[in-house]
């Protein structure tokens, strides 16, 4: 049985969701600081999906494969 007090494990669907959400929040913070105002989550999510997700996903998959070796 899963312990709800334990953080989600990398490689699990929920763990990967949380990792991606953290990256979107990081992008949102950096872009908001750069623009001088809160750009909003939806704007950050769109930017992330269009410009960063594929590269991040490839990097993340490589890290997961290396961790299994």
The pLDDT of residue 10: 74
- Residue 1 inside a domain? The answer is no
- Residue 38 inside a domain? The answer is yes
- Residue 59 inside a domain? The answer is yes
Statement: residue 4 has pLDDT above 70: no
- Residue 14 inside a domain? The answer is no
The pLDDT of residue 1: 45
Question: Could you tell me the two tokens for 50?
Answer: 């269009």
- How many angstroms separate the first and last alpha carbons of the chain? 26
- Residue 13 inside a domain? The answer is no
Q: Count the domains in the chain.
A: 1
Q: The pTM is what? A: 0.80
- Residue 57 inside a domain? The answer is yes
Domain of residue 47 covers: 32-69
Q: pLDDT digits over 6-34, tens only? A: 666 777 889 889 999 999 999 999 999 99
CA–CA distances in Å: residue 29 to residues 12, 17, 24, 26: 26, 18, 9, 5
Of 36, 39, 7, 5, nearest to 24 by C-alpha is 39
- Residue 15 inside a domain? The answer is no
Q: pLDDT digits over 43-57, tens only? A: 999 999 999 999 999
- Residue 52 inside a domain? The answer is yes
């Amino acid at each position: 049985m899963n312990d709800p007090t334990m953080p989600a494990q990398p490689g699990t669907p929920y763990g990967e969701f949380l990792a991606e959400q953290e990256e979107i929040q990081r992008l949102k913070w950096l872009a908001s600081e750069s623009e001088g105002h809160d750009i909003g989550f939806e704007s950050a999510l769109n930017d992330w999906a269009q410009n960063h997700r594929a590269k991040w996903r490839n990097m993340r998959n490589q890290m997961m494969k290396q961790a299994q070796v």
